[in-house]
Amino acid sequence: MSTQFFIDELFERRISYPNCNHQERLARLVGLDDHKVRLTKILSLLVNPASLETWEKKFYPNVKGLSKIVFRRSPLIVLEGDVGCGKTELAETIGDAVARKEKIDITLFPLSLSTRGQGRVGEMTQLISSAFEYTVVEASKLKSSTGNIRGAIILLVDEADALAQSREATQMHHEDRAGVNAFIRGIDRIANSCLPAVVIMCTNRLGAFDPAVRRRAAAILTFERPDQSQRFAALSPILKELNFSREQIEAVVKVTGAGNGYNYGFTYSDLIQNLLPTIILDAYPSQPIDPARAVEIAQKINPTPPFQEDNA
């Protein structure tokens, strides 16, 4: 089976940045400003370390090796947390912010879950190795002999616990252990080659990660359900356009928090992909949206339950 066949199977699609559509999607991710800023900064330094060296020379010209403290980190970022809280959406759109900041082209390769293969001996290991081989080859083309970069690659691994689960698990199959080993080798290869490439892993099961994978992460960003101010920020732009007053918006926000028999509130997905469309379609096509009715609808929607990890 050829390497090209593996490439076609590995990646769900390829996304190039800058990208106006993804710039808009990133802007709509309200309540995640701290994560946006931090992730942009980390990715910028990982794919273009020259910018940190410039900062070092400007502010600390007499301090030797300061930037090397940062460069020792592996090109791996982990986004972990509850379901529906923006991990994957941020991972798929943050490349636009980095591309614009560094003034380079960036390509995102979202790794397909089919990487786990069909269960044939050695297949998963070969697929993972092929994915990293392709990433290395493409990233190598973007680095000149002088060290300057012309672009960067982001390898996105969603539901990453399926590929990086702990090798310490007694029930783990030998093939799965070999796959994790291949994953670690791939990350180390990118790091040792100093390539303009980074791996982003998304998971709601960080506890299932292999310790060696967690240890290599340059940063682990935790995503939680939006609090009251974040829910207000998510809902208020559209509700204001629908002529809701601040008090009416706050009433909707209040009922999307913990309560009504649940000790957890709405996720971002619950708010944007469920609540708002339901409110609109309830009034369509014969009447305008009634704020009081919007509160009633919100009270009847069950928030997505938190992910419960099976520790058995």
- Report the sign of the C-alpha dihedral through residues 41, 42, 46, 49, in that order: positive
Q: Does 55 share its domain with 109? A: yes
On the CB side of 290, CA atoms within 13 Å amount to: 8
Residue 309 in any domain: the answer is no
Q: Is pLDDT at 2 greater than 50 in this prediction? A: no
User: Is the pLDDT at 290 greater than 80, yes or no?
Assistant: yes
pLDDT tens sequence across 160-198: 887 887 776 655 666 678 888 999 999 999 999 989 999
Whether residues 67 and 84 share a domain: the answer is yes
163 and 193 fall within a common domain: yes
Q: Helix or strand or coil: residue 150?
A: coil
Mean pLDDT for 269-284 is: 96
Is 199 among the domain residues? yes
- Cβ–Cβ under 8 Å, residues 156 and 210: no
Residues 291 and 168 occupy one common structural domain? no
107 located within any domain: yes
Domain boundary among 177, 193, 223: 223
| pTM, rounded to two decimals | 0.87
* Residue 305 forms part of a structural domain: no
- Asked if residue 312 belongs to a domain, the reply is no
Domain limits at 244? Answer: 228-300
